[in-house]
Amino acid sequence: MITTKKTGLAPSRRSVLMGAGAGLLAGAGLIRPVWAQAAPLKLGFQLHATGIGAGYGRWYQRTADAAVKLINEGGGIAGRPVELVYEDDGTDPKRGAEVVDKLVSQHGCDLVLGTLFSHVVMGSAPRAGELKVPYLVCSEGYHVASGALNRWTLQPGITDVRSQISSMAPWVAGNIGKKVTMVYPDYAFGYDHRDFFTAAIQAQGGEVLAQIAIPPTETSFTRYFPQIPPETEVIYHVMVGPGVLTFVKELGEFYGTGAKPQLFGFIDSLEAVDTATPGLEFLEGSHFWEAHPRVKPADAGEHEAAYRAAVGVDDNGASTGDAADVATYSHMFSTWETLFFIKQAIEAAGYTGPADRQKLVEAMEAISDLPYGIERPQGAKTFNGKTHQAFGVQNISKIEGGKLVKVHTTTIEEGLYPDAVDYTTMAF
């Protein structure tokens, strides 16, 4: 059987029309504000759009978009417009390394930023080091300041777990209790809490009675509660992931109306979760660490309102469009502050393109004082160029009437600890 196909010979009417349509669309895309002929700075964003970190990823994207909008309205960075290129890493370390590669080699990004989950940071940072590209993480892990990573990896937008814990322990020992049982996830993030809190509470004359590690995939928690010693005064909990609600609910069922220890938790347990959710009544009166108070405190800084408006968050910490859509407020500011840190460093370094990447990292290492302003809505910070880590204030909030109410703010000094590494002596 012989069939004749005209494909490739003469253009059909349909293909001509489609081509014309595509041309129109492409043309429309080109009509943009013209930036004095400057090529845009391309910043690659490693985004947890899917996988276990998706709840955070969504808010990281919204916050980064808002920051870039503000930066571009103010004339961009060094006169160049900024463009964010997002790539989904599936909250997976292996994919994370591929994403760094793709952002740098394929999209031609000047640097990469935005990673939250520690295991993705650990999986991606070595690749950033091989590619010799600045990699700015927003993860609060101690992995940067511990010296486990490389000269190209920095954490300028959020404090690390060790610093957070060191500044919390005195308050816990002084105000809630000294006999503590810790409940934490059974992997690196949990171990940081276990090690640093145990040491920090001992320094305050307290003690950790039991350390209960829970596998990250666990969906039922009641079976762990009998391990909590009865003389416990404080349960220190830092659970993450979708099982958190169950954890709190089952803890409530277990203790019920009887005598129960005080609770102190890290807000990581309840990021993106409404504290007034049915089943969480058990948390009433308990305390949480917050980096950036979700419910706007009465004494909030002068830039708090402008920041909330820019990222689309109301005074209760939920999306202005949907009260059920609660923000990951104590983490997302890190992308905003990291972007303004990048702006400061690029302008100081006179960075013009990928050939200046080393100069850019050196300029970042030279930054030390990061004062409060719209660039840093969470609060003033200091940056340690040797350890590549930022230090800032921490907050403690209490749940009252289903709402987080800020009760205490630490100083930056309370979160400082001796340097464990000097990255500036390492080769690029």
* Cβ at position 207, least distance to other proteins in Å: 21
Decide: is 78 part of the binding site for other proteins (CB under 8 A): no
Query: Which among 61-69, 151-159, 250-258, 305-313 is the span making contact with other proteins, rule CB under 8 A?
Result: 250-258
Q: Which of 148, 245, 300, 374 binds other proteins (CB under 8 A)?
A: 245
Distance of alpha carbon 112 from alpha carbon 76, whole angstroms: 18
Stretch that binds other proteins, among 107-115, 162-170, 270-278, 403-411 (CB under 8 A): 270-278
The terminus-to-terminus CA distance of the chain in angstroms comes to 66
Let me know: does 35 contact 81? Beta carbons within 8 Å: yes
Assess 253 for contact with other proteins (CB under 8 A): yes
Q: Tell the residue number behind the tokens 């416990």, with chain if given.
A: 232
Residues 141 and 93 sit within 8 Å (Cβ to Cβ)? no
Contacting residue, 40, 42, 55, 209, with other proteins by CB under 8 A: 55
Q: Is 87 an interacting residue with respect to other proteins (CB under 8 A)?
A: no
Does 225 contact other proteins by CB under 8 A?
Answer: yes
Q: Does 209 interact with other proteins (rule: CB under 8 A)?
A: no
* Token couple for 70: 């503000």
Backbone angles phi, psi at 107, to 5 degrees: -85, -10
Judged by CB under 8 A, does residue 256 bind other proteins? Answer: yes
* CA atoms of 300 and 363, how far apart (whole Å): 31
| CA–CA distance, 121 with 365 (Å, rounded to integer) | 20
Kindly report the number of other CB atoms within 10 A of residue 98's CB atom: 16
Subset of 179-208 contacting other proteins (CB under 8 A): none
Nearer CB in complex with other proteins: 349/404: 404
- Contact between 197 and 237 (Cβ < 8 Å): no
**Closest C-alpha among 327, 334, 322, 255 to residue 291:** 334
The site for other proteins, by CB under 8 A, has a size of: 38
**Closest by alpha carbon to 290, among 121, 146, 115, 158?**
158
Smallest distance, other proteins to C-beta of residue 332, A: 14
Question: By CB under 8 A, is residue 243 in contact with other proteins?
Answer: yes
Query: Of the two residues 247 and 351, which places its CB atom closer to other proteins in the complex?
Result: 247
Rounded to whole angstroms, the Cα distance separating 86 from 33 reads 21
Closest CB 214 distance from other proteins, rounded Å: 8
Between residues 244 and 332, which has the closer beta carbon with respect to other proteins?
244
- Interface with other proteins includes 226 (CB under 8 A)? yes
Q: Encoding tokens for residue 411? A: 């100083």
Question: Which one of residues 40, 42, 50, 409 is an interface residue with other proteins (CB under 8 A)?
Answer: 50
Kindly provide the b/e burial profile for residues 229-242, where b requires at least 16 CB atoms within 10 angstroms of the residue's own CB: eeebebbbbbbbbe
CB 47 within 8 A of CB 61: yes
| Closest CB 168 distance from other proteins, rounded Å | 25
Asked if 320 is part of the footprint of other proteins (rule: CB under 8 A), the reply reads no
Q: Is 353 in the site for other proteins (CB under 8 A)?
A: no
Choices 36-44, 134-142, 170-178, 212-220 (CB under 8 A): range interacting with other proteins: 212-220
> Using an 8 Å Cβ cutoff, are 116 and 73 in contact?
no
DSSP 115-167: --SHHHHHHHHHHHHHHT--EE-----TTTTTT-S-TTEEB-SS--HHHHHHH
Q: Which of 72, 175, 204, 277 binds other proteins (CB under 8 A)?
A: 277
To other proteins, the closest distance from the beta carbon of 246 in angstroms equals 5
Binding segment (CB under 8 A) for other proteins, from list 78-86, 236-244, 302-310, 374-382: 236-244
Q: Does 352 help bind other proteins (rule: CB under 8 A)?
A: no
Give the interface with other proteins as residue ranges (CB under 8 A).
50-52, 54-55, 57-58, 214-215, 217-220, 222-223, 225-226, 230, 242-246, 249-250, 253-258, 272-273, 277-279, 325-326
